Amino acid sequence: MSIRRTIKTRRAMTAVAITTGLVLTVAGCGGGGGDGSKSDEGSSSSKPAKGSGDDGNKEEPQDPAADQVLAEVRGSDGVSLTVTSAERDEGGFLTISGQIKNGGGKFWIADKWRGDEHELRKNGASMAGAALVDQEGKKKYLVLRDTEGRCLCTKFDGGGVDTGQTAEWYAQFPAPPEGTSKVDFQVGAMPPASIELSEGE
């Protein structure tokens, strides 16, 4: 009887050992599957990371505050002028830039914006007649020009802007003193646009 019990006990222990081995083997396989799922989770978690990176990239184009409107004025002919940047540059210059939109019913000719000075007439349709006025300092600044009278400003191809169209523009001036943070920009018969100056990078 004792021998039979010993044999039964050994068989039971062997069965337990085999079962334990099978359980460990299955667990090991499951662990491998877990690794696969972990790598899947890693790849899925990396996707949101890339997504968040993409979100960051989407915000970058908004950095250069190109779409920031500093001032906007409208003329009687349906033309609107927007100032989007007014930055001091190295060398004592001030660059003003923005957009012109022709909201009128006909082609807008920019020749009246070239200025009244005889020297500026050779610039044709341009921003050559633009000026800055420092009300506090009581000083007027004209667009910079080279020795031949060519302005450091936009010259409009085709002489102006077609109806419903927009055009980018810029004009460069001598920079007002450092203490001056606000000036009035004016060109042609447009109303003056009051703008805040900013330091260039």
Helices then strands (H, E): number in the chain? 1, 11
Residue 28: helix, strand or coil by DSSP? helix
- What backbone torsions phi and psi does residue 72 show, to the nearest 5 degrees? -145, 130
- What backbone torsions phi and psi does residue 138 show, to the nearest 5 degrees? 55, 55
| Distance separating alpha carbons of residues 70 and 55, to the nearest angstrom | 27
Query: So what's the pLDDT on residue 175?
Result: 94
* Domain covering 71-199: architecture: Sandwich (2.60)
pTM of whole model > 0.75? no
Strand bridging mode 182-186 / 193-196? antiparallel
Query: So what's the pLDDT on residue 199?
Result: 67
| Distance separating alpha carbons of residues 7 and 23, to the nearest angstrom | 24
Query: So what's the pLDDT on residue 72?
Result: 96
Mean pLDDT by 10 residues, the chain (201 residues): 47 48 45 47 39 44 60 93 93 94 93 81 89 93 91 92 95 92 93 85 53
Ordered by start, the domain boundaries in the chain are: 2-62, 71-199
Burial class of residue 183, CB neighbours in 10 A (0-12, 13-18, 19+): buried
